[in-house]
Amino acid sequence: MHISVKRFHHNLIEWYDKNHRPLPWRETKNPYYIWISEIMLQQTQVKTVYDYYLRFIKRFPNVEILANTTREEVLKYWEGLGYYNRAVRLHQAAKIVKNNFQGNLPSDYLQLLSLPGIGQYTAGAISSIAFHQPMPAIDGNVSRVICRLFLIREDIKNAGSQKKIKEFAMKILSKEDPGTFNQAIMELGATTCFPRKPGCNVCPVKKDCRAFSHHQQGTIPRIKRKPKQNRIYMEIALVINGDKILMVKRPSEGLLANLWALPSIEKEEKIEGGISILRHLESQHEIKIDRKPIFLGEETHTFTHRIWRMKLYYFPYLRGINPDEKKENWCHIKKVKQYPIGKAFKKMFKYIERVMKEKTEENSVLSEHSKSDF
């Protein structure tokens, strides 16, 4: 069975015109807005991106404004969206576009590909949607549709499969309107050609789908099982000095990179009761703790490949710290939420508010527990 490309284009675009979701980034040809949306949509669902996108472009309506702001503010507006390196690279790319391209996003695919945070899919999406360039935009949804259309049975992540998918994507790409075509095939994958239980009964291109004709749409594409998430036990410190708490900046690489957080450390094996975080405070932040850590509560946060089991400990007395403002800071409790902070640490806010309320009322249960010296 061979695809009738002309029929495929007609049926797909007709379906898309009638059924596509009305999304704000589809109502514009502004390359900057399309770029922002595509970066946000990397590994993130449309429903999550929607409000973030509107808020972001309202605050940063063009490349120059984005390039001229601080990384801290960009991260603050990205707060809660996850995969924070996307925001860092977006900011880096904005500076390059401002300085090297007169503030205009380049239309050339290879120039787009040279910018931080832009890979083959994003470069293809921007160049086709914003600049009408005949380049495919192959994300997970498109890969799944193509595997089913052409009966690609191999693991979707294999290099051979990836090569085939790209070849077939180029074969069926509309040269007349590549932007609309790319959006249409992405929409088909997102709303109809589901990973499980695809909606073949309403699919506009099932006549050209080899998986459908062979009754294999439920088993294609083949995907390896995801590895189990690692469970990591973390200890978090709430260190209070008057009406201020200690905030630290996380490293520039790795999980929650560049965000602000409470001091934290992975718990040492067989060491309980907040001793791991106490040692971390002493060794890394030169804080001398003279009282026992006081356990406040426990929370769980799930990342893509790991689960944090977090225990929060309160340290009501300290001495010896002179913070380096680039990596740590005493933050007034009322200003904590002005910092870019990941969701994992935001879960600790309720405990912070409780402790500060008890301190204000001078009737804290914690003070009774902290009378005995460590």
The separation between CA 284 and the C-alpha centre of its own chain, rounded to angstroms, equals 29
- Is the pLDDT reported for residue 26 higher than 50? yes
Question: What pLDDT, on a 0 to 100 scale, did the predictor assign at position 46?
Answer: 94
Rounded to two decimals, what is the model's pTM?
A: 0.82
14, 38, 64, 361: the catalytic one is 38
Question: What pLDDT, on a 0 to 100 scale, did the predictor assign at position 373?
Answer: 40
Give ranges for CATH 1.10.340.30 in the chain.
5-213
Cα first-last separation, the chain = 77
Give ranges for CATH 3.90.79.10 in the chain.
230-369
H or E element at residue 241 = strand 230-241
Is the CATH number of domain 5-213 1.10.340.30? yes
315 band by pLDDT with thresholds 50, 70 and 90: confident
pLDDT, tens digit, 9 for 90 and up, residues 224-266: 777 778 899 999 999 888 788 889 999 888 889 889 999 999 9
One-letter amino acid at 360 equals T
Is the CATH number of domain 230-369 3.90.79.10? yes
38 classed as catalytic: yes
Structure tokens at 277: 């975080």
Q: How far apart are CA 236 and CA 217, in angstroms?
A: 47
Question: What pLDDT, on a 0 to 100 scale, did the predictor assign at position 19?
Answer: 95
